[in-house]
Structure 1
């Protein structure tokens, strides 16, 4: 089980990096946009530099950040309602968590396949973004890869829970 666990942890760290980098880009783009708009306003338009496509850039990097965060922390993504689970044995909770993780595997695969297909369509038909007119293919493909990483991590976590019965339990950690 160790190689699978190491693979899962490696994917998690990679996705944390991608999510963090995406958030940094979002903050930097927003700051640059606000500053340039403010300078434009202060100079009554004589300073004509503004960042075009900021909303588009921020929205696509938000997509990357969310997909990466979901893949990075899929094992902690369940909200457990105490009223339904407080009297359940730990083993049953584990099996339920493993089933949910397998469901996330299926969802991740559906997302990955759909985004891959959208990327191929964007490449074939020349679909571009609205403001920046850049190809949508890389955006779809990065999203497909992140969704595939979600599926892989969810499958590994599901297998691990089925084999060991151990899972992240928010009730026990107080999270």
Structure 2
């Protein structure tokens, strides 16, 4: 069990890193694009450039950031409605949380399978992005990898909850 917890923590940190890098790229791309447009406006069109494919860059890295964040914090992803859970026994809450984690495992598996098939199709048929004209295969492959990490973490967290009965409880932490 200790190995699984360490693996889950390692995956969480990897996903936090990927999500952080993705957010930095989003911010830098947006800042560069806004700055370039402002320089273009100030010089009356004399000097200027645009970030080619800026919208695509931002949208695909937003996809990576969201998938990574979901995988990194899957055990904290439940919105607890106090009306339904405040009188429940802790063991019942744990059982429900374990079932939710199994649900996220299945969602991760479905996402992984679909994105993997999309990556294979993109490679086979030469699908490219609209503006940058780069292959969609690596985008689908990275998304499939992050979805696989979500599935693995969800399964590990589910096993941990069913085995120990311990889970992240937002009501107890005040979050």
Name the TM-score class by shorter chain. Answer: over 0.9
Q: Which stretches of structure 1, 4 residues or longer, exceed 2 Å deviation after superposition?
A: none
Give the TM-score taking structure 1 as reference length: 0.99
Match of 1:149 in 2: 149
Shift in Å, 1:20: 0.4
Please give the residue correspondences for 1:86-97 in structure 2 after superposition, counting only pairs within 5 Å.
86-97=86-97
Match of 2:37 in 1: 37
Match of 2:162 in 1: 162
State how many pairs are aligned: 175
Shift in Å, 1:86: 0.8
Q: Deviations over 1:31-58 (max 9, x none)?
A: 0000011111111222132111000000
Q: For structure 1, which segment, 7-16 or 47-56, has the greater mean C-alpha deviation from structure 2 after superposition?
A: 47-56
Give 5+ residue unaligned stretches, structure 2: none
Match of 1:123 in 2: 123
Give 5+ residue unaligned stretches, structure 1: none
Give the TM-score taking structure 2 as reference length: 0.99
Conservation of the 8 A alpha-carbon contact between 2:105 and 2:154: yes
Match of 1:71 in 2: 71
